[in-house]
Structure formats: structure tokens, C-alpha cells
Amino acid sequence: MSYSSSTLRERIVEMTDTIYFDFSKLNPPMEIILQLRGFENNSYAVQEEREKCFCSQLMEQVLVSLRKQIRLDSNIDLMVSIVDTETIGQRKIYFILNTASSVFFQKKELYQVITRREGVSGNIYELMHDARYVRMYYTSEEFYDKYKRKNDRNHGASNPYKKRRVMRKMKRPSIEEINEGINISVLRFKNAINEYIEKSFGKVVVKPEIIGVFSKKIL
């Protein structure tokens, strides 16, 4: 197969801009070990129900919202799950990188589409950094360029209080930056869990406690 000089130049640019993203150097998944205390009851069924309720509230009120914020901030999407262990009253909070959007990581840049959530009012440029008020998904460079050209023609004149969507270009993190970001993110989760425990139990002595943060061994 032969190419014209112009076509060949275009293909070279395309190949230079498209980089196979190798996730093989990704660090092993991480986990926080949580010992549930303060739910003891003569009835194991009652104790188990209390523990389940606490874990459900922890997931809904803390872990899910923080996961969304981290993804918006750093393009690191950690799947979070709480699983039982063989130790009574102990749970593992398990963190693993979600690579479902890996197709967008084949470029040097990432293109975020940020849309306001239903019922949210205000200036979208002031809301766009807070995952409580906006959603985020990725798009292609082509759609981002179309958005930018249109926005430049209008000189950003559209009303930011009525605007439902904005886009932004961000540098794609390297595998080393992702690994570092995961470590930082898990520490953010740890701090948020501790804050939630303190808020929920106050000065009570017997309460849930984080007893370790580990990297999961891959056999």
C-alpha cells in the first residue's frame, strides 16, 4: 500500500499523537481494613443488621461522592466496594482502577464534558469543579475542537447561568502519575472515613476503627 506525501504526513502526526497506554505497570489494588466496633448485641442478627446499615451509609454518604470528586479532579476512577472478611466485624474497603474509559487514554490529552446535574442552578463555571453539582464524561478531540471553535466564535457570550455544558482539555496522567494518584486518593478516602466516624460517634470510646491500609497481593 502506498500513500501520497500529504497522507503520509497526516498518518505520522496521527501515530505520534496516539499512544498505546500500558496498564501493565499499574500497582496492585489497595484496601482499607475497617474493624466495626460499637454495634455489639446479644443477637448476632441485630449486630449484623447494624453493621450493614453503617456500611451502607458510609458508601452512600462518603465513598461514592468522594469517588466522583476524585475522578473529576484527577481523571482517576476508582471502583469502591465493601466486602466481608473471615474476621467477625471486619470489612475490607477495596479500591481498584476502573479502566472502562481506557480508549480515551490512547491520546496525550483527555477531553472532559462537564454537565450540570438536574435541578442545579448557578454559574456553571463556578460549579464545574464540584462533583456534587456536575457530572463528567469523556469525549473525542474532534467534538472538543468543534465545541471550542463555536465557543471562540461566540466569545463565550452564552449565559453561564443557563449553560448546561462545558468542555475542558486536560493532560492525560502517565502510569506513574496514576499510581501516585491512587495512593493519594486512598489516603483521602481514609481521612474521609475517619471524619465520618468521628461525626457519627463523637466522643464514644468504642467505635469503628481503621486498622490498616494495604496493597492487595496479586498471586
> pLDDT tens-digit profile of 27-57?
999 999 999 999 988 888 999 999 999 999 9
pLDDT of residue 105: 92
What are the boundaries of each domain within the chain? 25-99+174-215, 109-171
Res 6 pLDDT > 60: no
Nearest-CA neighbor of 17 among 106, 104, 142? 106
Helices (H), the chain: 5-17, 44-58, 64-74, 124-127, 141-153, 175-201
* Segment 160-198, tens digit of pLDDT: 999 999 999 999 999 999 999 999 999 999 999 999 999
Res 7 pLDDT > 70: no
The torsion defined by the Cα of 172, 174, 175 and 180, in degrees rounded to 10, comes to -100
- Provide mean pLDDT across the span 3-14: 43
* Segment 52-92, tens digit of pLDDT: 999 999 999 999 999 999 999 999 999 999 999 999 899 99
pLDDT of residue 66: 98
pLDDT of residue 14: 44
| Cα(198)–Cα(60) distance, integer angstroms | 17
| Cα(30)–Cα(189) distance, integer angstroms | 11
pLDDT of residue 19: 55
Angle at 68 between CA 65 and CA 71, to 5 degrees: 150
pLDDT of residue 116: 97
* Segment 114-143, tens digit of pLDDT: 999 999 999 999 999 999 999 999 999 999
Q: Which amino acid is at 68?
A: K
Nearest-CA neighbor of 113 among 79, 80, 148? 148
Q: Which residues pair with 62 in a beta bridge?
A: none
> SS3 string of 134-170?
EEEEECCHHHHHHHHHHHHHCCCCCCCCCCCEEEEEE
Contact of 76 with 181, CB cutoff 8 Å? yes
Give the distance between the most distant pair of CA atoms in the chain: 81
Q: What is the pTM of this model?
A: 0.85
Q: Which CATH architecture has domain 25-99+174-215?
A: 2-Layer Sandwich (3.30)
pLDDT of residue 3: 44
pLDDT of residue 128: 97
pLDDT of residue 11: 44
Name the DSSP letter for residue 95.
Answer: E
